[in-house]
Structure 1
Amino acid sequence: MAPERDPRAGDRLDRAILGEEPSLNALDVAAETGVTVDQARRLWRALGFPEFVGERAFNSSDVKAVATLMTFVDAGAIDFDMAINLTRGVGQTMARLADWEVSTLVSRVEELAAADEATGSRVSSAVRLIEEVNPPFEQLLLYAWRRHLAAAVARIEAMGANDEDLHTIDVTVGFADLVSFTALSNQLDRGDIGDLVELFESRCHDVVARFGGRAIKSLGDSVLFVTTDAVAAVEISEGIVNVVGRDPKMPDVRVGLASGAVVMRLGDVFGPPVNMAARLTQVARRNRIIVDQRTADLLPAEEWEHRRLPARPVRGFGLVEPLTIRRR
C-alpha cells in the first residue's frame, strides 16, 4: 500500500525555497510597485507562470523583483517591451535550469531519506538539501551569468562591431545528430534513454567549449553549435565523432557544417547555414563529417583537402553537392 501523501509537503518546500508564504495578489503587487495590473501580469507570464487573477500567489520578493526591474525602465535605460523580452529570457533559462537541478538532486534526496540518521521523510531531506545547496548555488549563478555576459559582449565586439546590424554575424554552424535514435529509444527504458541523452549532450558541450565554440541548444538526439573559425568547427566535429561515434557504448553520429551569415536572437541563431547544417546530417554517412562549399573554401588548402559527393536533393535547397573533408 502506497504511503499517504502529505498535503503540506509542497508548502514546506515552497517556504524553504522562497523564504515566505504568498500573501499578495496581483492588485497588491501593482499597488506597491506603481505598475499597472496588466504590466504585472505580463511580467508574470513572461517568467513562464500561469496568470493568477485574485489569488494570493505573490510575496515581498515578487514586489522587490518588479520594483527593481522598473527602476531601469523608469530611468530610460530600456523600455517596458525590452523588459518583457529580458524577463522572458530569464524565465525560459531558469525554468530549464530548475528542472535540471531537481532531476540532478532527486537521487541525492532519496539517499538522504534512506540514510540511517535520516528521519525517513523525503520532504525533510529535500528541505535540508535545499538549505545546504541553494546559497552557494545562487553565488555560482551570478558568477556564471557575469562570465557569459562578458563572453557575449566580446563576441559581439569581435564579430559585428563595424557592421550596421549587430544581430547578424558570419559563423560556421555545426549540427551533430545521433544515428537511428528513434529506433534505439524504442528499445531502451526511460532511465537508459535519459542517461544516453545526458552523456551525448555533456560530451558534445565539452568538446565545443574546448575548441572555443558555442553550444546553442540541444534537441535530445542532436546538438547545434557555432564558431567563428571553420577550422575550429571541423576540430569540434572530429572531437564529437571521437567521443561519441567511436565509443562502442554510444550510437553512431553524423555531423554537418555550413558557413555564412546568421541572425542572433533570443539566445538562438537563425538563417540558411543553420538549416543547411541540419539537412547535411541527413545525407552524411555514420561517423562522418559533411560540409557545404562555403565551409570547404574557408579551410586552408595546404592543410585540408575535400572531395565532392554526388548531387542530391536537400529539402529547402534543391540539388546540393556536399563535400567530405580530410587532413592532408
Structure 2
Amino acid sequence: MCSLSAPRDEPGSRPPGHGLGHEVEKALLGGEPRYRKADVAAAAGVELERAERLWQAMGFAHVEDDEVVFTDADVRAVRMLVQLVSAEVITAEVETAVARTLAQTMSRLAEWQVGIFRSVLGDRFAEDLDVTAQFAEAITPVMEELQGYVWRRHLAATAARELTERAGGADERVQVIGFADLVGYTRLIRDFSEVELARLIDDFEESATAVVAENRGRIVKTVGDEVLFVADAPSDAAEIALTLNEKIGGEGQLPPLRIGLARGTVLARFGDVYGSTVNIASRLTSVARPASVLVDRELAASLRGHPAYSLTSIGPTKVQGFRGLRAYALRRNR
C-alpha cells in the first residue's frame, strides 16, 4: 500500500470527468482530493479489497490505482463504517447493504439538488465555474444541516413507531401495502415535453406525499409513474387510496390512478419492503380500472362492516404468479 503523504499531482492522477472544475469539486467535497484508493484503505486500517467493495456499493465508478480522487472525508467515512462493525452496531455481512442503501437515497437527493443549482444559476452553472463554486460553497452547508434535521425527525418518528407497534420477527410485521400508478404514462412520455412531464411528476409526487402523510401512512419509494406506500391500519390505507383518486381526479391536470392494496406479513429491510403481500398489491394495481381501488381478500375482511366503505367482489382475478386471487373494489359509502 502507498504511504499517506499527499500524492504528486502528476499526469493521469486526476479522476475522469475532472472538467467539473477544481474549485467546484473542492466546494462540494469539502476538501482537496489528496489520496489514492490504497491511501484511504491504509488510513482507515482496512484491506484495499474491502474499501473498494464499499466504494462500489455506494454506486461510484471504478477508480484506477493512480487516480487521486479521495479526500479526508472519505478516510473518515470508511473509518466510521468500520467502527460500526467493530462495535457490533452492524455486522460485517450487512455493511455493503448499509452503504448501498445510503447511496440509493443520497444519489437521488444529489440529483435534485444539482437541479436546484442549475435552475438558480441558469447558463452560468456550466459557463462560469467560479460562480458555481461560490454558490456551492454557500448553499451546501445549509442543505447539509437541513438534511440532518429531516433525518433526525424521521429517525425519531420511526423509532417511536417501532417501539410501540413492533410485533412478530425482527424485520416482519403485518401491514397494508399500496401501489398508486398513473394511467397512460407511456403516452405522456411520448406527447409531453420534458418540462411538462417533470411538472406533472412533481405534482403527482407532491399530492401523493401529502395524502399519505395526512393519513398516517409512509411512502417507501416513488418510481416514475408509481408510488409505493405502506400503512399500519386498514382504514388508513383505504383512506389514502380513495383520497388519492379523489384528489387526482378533482384537479384535472393529472391522469387518473390505478391503485392496488394488500394486507399481510411484510419483510421490511433497509427502507424497502418485500414479500408476497407486496407482489399481490402490485398485481392488483396492474388489473385495476382507471380511477379505481382494488383490495385483496385479507384487507377486504378487515374493512368489512366499516361504515365509511363499501366492498364489491369482482371474483377470482387472473394475475401472473397467483392462482385464485380474489379482488374487491373499494368505494366510499355515500
TM over 0.5: yes
Match of 1:3 in 2: none
Change (3 A) 1:22 1:232: same
Q: Deviations over 1:94-144 (max 9, x none)?
A: 111101111233111118x49xxxxx9442332232122211211111111
Amino acid aligned to 1:37: L
User: What secondary structure is seen at the aligned counterpart in 2 of 1:96?
Assistant: helix
Q: How does 1:144-293 map to 2 (within 5 A)?
A: 144-161=150-167, 163=168, 165-293=169-297
Q: Deviations over 1:47-74 (max 9, x none)?
A: 2112323122112121122222223333
User: What secondary structure is seen at the aligned counterpart in 1 of 2:122?
Assistant: helix
Amino acid aligned to 1:319: G
Match for residue 37 of structure 1 among 23, 26, 48: 48
Match of 1:79 in 2: 91
Match for residue 320 of structure 2 among 306, 310, 315: 315
User: What secondary structure is seen at the aligned counterpart in 2 of 1:50?
Assistant: coil
Tell me the C-alpha RMSD between the 2 structures: 2.2
d(CA) in 1 for partners of 2:275, 2:326: 19
d(CA) in 2 for partners of 1:80, 1:179: 43
Match of 2:10 in 1: none
Q: How does 1:18-37 map to 2 (within 5 A)?
A: 18-37=29-48
Q: Check the 8 A contact 1:246/1:252 in 2, yes or no.
A: no
User: What secondary structure is seen at the aligned counterpart in 2 of 1:81?
Assistant: helix
Amino acid aligned to 2:205: E
Instruction: Determine whether 1:100 maps to 2:98.
Output: no
* Structure 2: runs of 5+ lacking an equivalent: 1-16
After TM superposition, the structure 1 stretch with the greater mean CA deviation from structure 2, 233-242 or 127-136, is 127-136
Q: CA deviation at 1:203?
A: 1.1
Q: CA deviation at 1:224?
A: 0.8
Change (3 A) 1:123 1:79: same
Amino acid aligned to 1:224: L
Q: Check the 8 A contact 2:178/2:237 in 1, yes or no.
A: yes
Q: Check the 8 A contact 1:172/1:233 in 2, yes or no.
A: yes
After TM superposition, the structure 1 stretch with the greater mean CA deviation from structure 2, 293-302 or 208-217, is 293-302
d(CA) in 2 for partners of 1:41, 1:7: 20
Q: Check the 8 A contact 1:217/1:225 in 2, yes or no.
A: yes
TM-score, normalising length from structure 1? 0.89
Q: Deviations over 1:202-242 (max 9, x none)?
A: 21111111111010111111111010011111111122112
After TM superposition, the structure 1 stretch with the greater mean CA deviation from structure 2, 184-193 or 222-231, is 184-193
User: What secondary structure is seen at the aligned counterpart in 2 of 1:200?
Assistant: helix
* Structure 1: runs of 5+ lacking an equivalent: 1-5, 115-119
Q: Deviations over 1:139-193 (max 9, x none)?
A: 11111112222222233333434x2x12111011111111111122211122212
Instruction: Point out 4+ residue stretches in structure 1 off by more than 4 angstroms.
Output: 6-9
d(CA) in 2 for partners of 1:7, 1:299: 58
Change (3 A) 1:9 1:211: same
Paired residue total: 315
